[in-house]
Chains A and B, each alone.
Chain A
Amino acid sequence: KQEVTQIPAALSVPEGENLVLNCSFTDSAIYNLQWFRQDPGKGLTSLLLIQSSQREQTSGRLNASLDKSSGRSTLYIAASQPGDSATYLCAVSGNTPLVFGKGTRLSVIA
C-alpha cells in the first residue's frame, strides 16, 4: 500500500528565504507526482505535476524535483513571500488515483 510522508509538518521562515519541502513515497511504481497548495478553509490548487519520466518541473518561483527510484520529491520555493503561507501537499498517482501526504504547513513571516 502506497504511503506518502511529508517532512517537516510545519515550517516558519522569514520573508525572502529560499526553502525546500520534502515528500517521500514507499512504492516507486508511480505515474506522476503532484504538489498542491491549500489555503485555510479552501480546496486544493494544483501547483506542479511531474510525470514519472520527468525529473523536474518549474513554475515561476516554484521548482519541483522527482527521484522516482529513491521515492523522493522536493518542492523548492525561491524568495518566499507572506502570500506563500499555506499548507503544501504532495500526492502520487499509481494503482490508485492519488495518495496524499498530510502536508507541510508553511508560514512566511514579513
Chain B
Amino acid sequence: DARVTQTPRHKVTEMGQEVTMRCQPILGHNTVFWYRQTMMQGLELLAYFRNRAPLDDSGMPKDRFSAEMPDATLATLKIQPSEPRDSAVYFCASGWEGTYEQYFGPGTRLTVT
C-alpha cells in the first residue's frame, strides 16, 4: 500500500527556531507538492517540483522558507526563523506528471509559540 509519508507529524517550537519538515513521496512519482493549510486561508500551494527540479515556489515567503529535493525519495521544507504566523498544517503530496492526480501525506502540524 504505497503512501506519502511525512515527518514529524507534530512539531512545537519557539519563535526564531529552525524547523525542517520531511516528505517521502510514493516511489515512482515524479512530482512533489508542498501545501499549507490554515483555518483562515484554507489550502495554499507553497511549492512544487518535477523530477526534483523546482517549478514554482511563488507561494512561499522567500526570506524564511526553502524547499529542496536532495534525491527522488526525499523532499524537505525548511523554515528559518520560524514565526507564530507559520503555525499551520503542512501537507506534502506526490503524483505522476500527466495524470494530475495527487496523493497526500498525513501532514505535519506545526505550532510556533
Contacts and interface: CB of A to CB of B under 8 A. Distances in A.
B104 A93 contact: no
A43 interface: yes
For the residues of B in contact with A, the DSSP-based class is strand
Contact of A43 (B33, B42, B48, B104): B104
A62 to B, nearest CB: 16
Contact of B105 (A36, A43, A98, A100): A43
Interface stretch (A14-22, A44-52, A70-78): A44-52
A31 B100 contact: yes
Interface string A64-106: 0000000000000000000000000101010011111111000
B74 interface: no
Nearest to B56: A96
Nearest to A44: B104
Interface residues of B, number: 20
B100 to A, nearest CB: 5
Given A43-B91, A96-B56, A97-B48, A103 B42 contact: yes
A99 B31 CA distance: 16
A1 to B, nearest CB: 11
Contacts of A100: 42-44
Nearest to B48: A97
Residue in B31, B33, B101 whose Cβ sees the most chain A Cβ within 10 Å: B101
25 contacts: A31-B100, A32-B100, A34-B100, A34-B101, A34-B102, A36-B104, A42-B107, A43-B91, A43-B105, A43-B106, A43-B107, A44-B91, A44-B104, A45-B104, A46-B102, A46-B103, A49-B100, A91-B43, A97-B45, A97-B56, A97-B100, A97-B102, A101-B42, A102-B42, A103-B42
B33 A97 contact: yes
Contacts of A36: 104
B53 to A, nearest CB: 15
Nearest to B55: A97
